[in-house]
Amino acid sequence: MSSLATVKDTVTTAGTAELETDILVIGWGKGGKTLATTLGSQGRKVTLVERDAGMVGGTCINVACVPTKALVHRADAVRPGDDPDAAVASAWDFRDALTSKLRDANRAMLEDLDAVTLVQGEARFTGERTVEVRPAEAADGDDDGERLTIRARHVVVNTGTTPLRPEMPGVDLPGVHDSETLQLQMDRSRAPRRAVVVGSGPVGLELASMLAGFGAEVTVLVRGEQILPDESDAVRDSLVEALQDRGVHLATGASATGFAEADGGLRVDLEEGEPIAADIVVLATGRASTAQALHPAAAGIELDEKGFIAVDEHLRTSAPDVWAVGDVNGGPQQTYISLDDHRIVTGQLGGDGAYSRADRVAVPTTVFTTPPLGSVGMTAEQAREAGHEVKVASKPVAKIAAMPRPKIEEDAHGVIEVVVDAATDLVLGARLHCVEAQELVNLVALAMRADVTASALRDGIWTHPSATEALNEVLGELS
């Protein structure tokens, strides 16, 4: 990546430089880098600014989706009798090698485009579509440092989010991690024997399942009385059973009040009940916007009540010719949503501009526990509240005779639940807790977008043995 001193196409005077560009992208996330690649390949003059060399390619490939799923994969490969310390060391080495390879590929993807200029440093708005960039380590320091002023016709903000660490005693102790520092700073020489996960959302449950796979006794602190309160009882019970069988304890109605060093490890103090001993603590308490660090007010960019950049359906901010894509705009925090955001903005910058967030339907999600939980559309309760008369097909995976794949993979945990409109036979939603759910949910989502009926899915000819075959049997039970 270019440093400030070697940025191409700049005018440099007395330690400062100026750059004019057509499109300025701030942040190397999925949406921003794809937009830069697309428009740069068309010959549009694009400048991309990234503050951290370790985040080239974005959060997903460096500290989120890809490396965490790599660790989940390695955890699932651990067998009784394996050395947990060796398994953890090998898994983290694999993670590092993978992210390094992906960073190099992402850097090369843009460096090879003549129309794209790459800048490493901290960007802050100083005016309308104007930013000042300084080396990240000096951004809050001496005003006499090296700097670059960039003026653009169009600006796309893609700076993402950062883990939210609650303010409580001991939160900065060694061994108290968030989802990112767990990967980057955890002691890899010894597998944790005891882990406490604070938070029971998708990230917390994924990390709890992964740590249990490496042999840790895991306790998840659940603030409410149950996990996934919006799901049906069958889906929730299925996930709880799988987690418990893996060795995860779900402590409901439990809230941490602080952390302290004790007996060579950590002590987790609770609002009620006895403290819990742990080797590590993982904070899975949400993510916060990074927008404020950009000094958005200087550019006329308004934030919402949670600190995210406020955007309309076309991702336009309150400032003319400024868009926000990815997590920083407060939308769903998923890489594929950021990718779709780039389509919206690319349409604004070079297409007909018609496509918007309102056009998104049947967007799937997956919680990568073991086995994963894929979800799309409405639950039965949500469908009824929306005015539909529904039929529900639900069956435990272990009882689906036409679906041998889970038995082959030695994990028959799970349930498959499909909600169908009784009048139209169209699928309104599905919950797929089973092996390969992350793939199966995409098929169901496509069927929903294309108005494929439940009967057509029921009568589909699917490869054998696959998870998809469950649709033949489960949907066959609809009355």
Position 67 scores a pLDDT of 98
List, by residue number, the catalytic residues: 464
- Name the E strands within 296-378: 322-324, 365-367, 373-377
Mean pLDDT of 187-212: 97
Position 15 scores a pLDDT of 58
Mean pLDDT of 134-139: 77
Position 40 scores a pLDDT of 97
Q: Rounded to whole angstroms, how far apart are CA atoms 267 and 154?
A: 50
- Domain architecture of the chain: domains with CATH: 4-161+288-359 (3.50.50.60), 176-285 (3.50.50.60), 365-475 (3.30.390.30)
Q: Is the pLDDT assigned to residue 144 strictly greater than 90?
A: no
Averaged pLDDT of the chain? 95
Q: In which band, very low, low, confident or very high, does the pLDDT at 145 lie, cut at 50, 70 and 90? A: confident
Q: 47 CB contacts (<8 Å, ≥6 apart)?
A: 19, 21, 23, 24, 25, 116, 117, 118, 119, 150, 152
* 3-state DSSP assignment of residue 330: coil
Q: In which band, very low, low, confident or very high, does the pLDDT at 1 lie, cut at 50, 70 and 90? A: very low
Q: Rounded to whole angstroms, how far apart are CA atoms 379 and 151?
A: 48
pLDDT, tens digit, 9 for 90 and up, residues 365-420: 999 999 999 999 999 999 999 999 999 999 999 999 999 999 999 999 999 999 99
Instruction: Single out the residue of 1, 130, 122 nearest to residue 57, CA to CA.
Output: 1
Q: Is 206 annotated as a binding residue?
A: yes
Mean pLDDT of 193-197: 98
Position 138 scores a pLDDT of 65
Q: Is 69 annotated as a binding residue?
A: yes
Instruction: Single out the residue of 114, 110, 111, 106 nearest to residue 43, CA to CA.
Output: 114
Q: Is 265 annotated as a binding residue?
A: no
Q: In which band, very low, low, confident or very high, does the pLDDT at 122 lie, cut at 50, 70 and 90? A: very high
pLDDT, tens digit, 9 for 90 and up, residues 337-372: 999 999 999 999 998 999 999 999 999 999 999 999
Structure tokens at 78: 């651990």
Q: Is the pLDDT assigned to residue 141 strictly greater than 70?
A: no
Q: Is 199 annotated as a binding residue?
A: yes
Alpha helices by DSSP H, 77-198: 84-111, 181-185
Mean pLDDT of 51-78: 97
Q: Is 204 annotated as a binding residue?
A: yes
Position 143 scores a pLDDT of 57
Q: Is the pLDDT assigned to residue 194 strictly greater than 80?
A: yes
